[in-house]
Amino acid sequence: MDTPASFAHIQIAATGNYVPPRIVTNDEMASYVDTSDDWIVSHTGIKERRWAEEGISTSEMAYQAAMNLLSKGDHQIDAIICATATSDYPGFPSVACILAERLGVFGPALDVSAGCTGFIYALEVARGLIAGKTARTVLVIGSEKLSDVLDLTDRNTCVLFGDGAAAVLLQSSHEPLFIDTYIKSEGAGSQSLTIDAQRKVITMQGRAVYAFAVRVIAETIDALLERNDLTIDEIDWIVPHQANSRIITASAKRYGIEESKFFMNIDRYANTSAASIPLALSEMEEKGLLKSGQRIILVGFGAGLTYGGNLLIWR
């Protein structure tokens, strides 16, 4: 996508979330692997994360996030898209199909696998369904149970990830509030961050991923600003994938963006992959940080390697 698409009038109408009750502190992580609270905080910004109990699946967390959203209003759902890298099964039924059955939805239901950028990709798929008049409302969920794919002997990865789910409802709008999407991939870097197919654990080349992330955050923001004749001063919030606070700090400093524009909650939830951006949005709404008319950029980056962002105006 090198130029903005012709967007139908679409908005995010509601948000919801679910995080497991179990809090795993850095001190607990130090009982599994050679690390410390000081090391984890200084290198990542993470103080704790949530891990789901055994028997609580990716689809169950997604369902709880959906129910949290639905508890906030009378919302119709025509289609479901779930962004995840940790689905319940290696094939069908997909997480979205499981949710469709539980929620009584008979429209399209599919999973999107684009790593930590999955939610960004899923929003664009949902926008296409609405713009093409296949659906009027689409439930878009990011849900991950990353505790199932951690190597607790690898301190460079196991301290980074947490579990959780969050949802948004995308629907038609009387105003053009969903402005633009910019999505890209760099397949040559696919082995830099992946879930090992044989060992079923996350592997990562930390320095390569760090350099990639700092670069593409700026590229995505610049592209969305340039394509829409905006300056960074006209953006109220940047909601990035919550991977590492040092990545956000480095991006902000290198490209002259006020760090205060970036919303971060990585200290409490760690990296929840495709769930991190909607989890941040849901928390921001609960805290009253999102105001009508605010311009917001969502930025994702991660396994694939994939990256991209969305520009929207809050309803």
Residues assigned a catalytic role: 116, 241, 271
CA 61, chain centre distance (Å)? 14
Q: What is the DSSP letter of 94?
A: P
Q: What is the DSSP letter of 261?
A: G
Q: Are strands 193-195 and 202-204 parallel, antiparallel or unpaired?
A: antiparallel
Neighbours of 158 (CB within 10 A): 20
d(CA 60, CA 54): 12
Which residues neighbour 101 within 8 Å (Cβ) at sequence distance 6 or greater?
Answer: 93
Handedness of CA 75, 142, 135, 295 (dihedral sign): positive
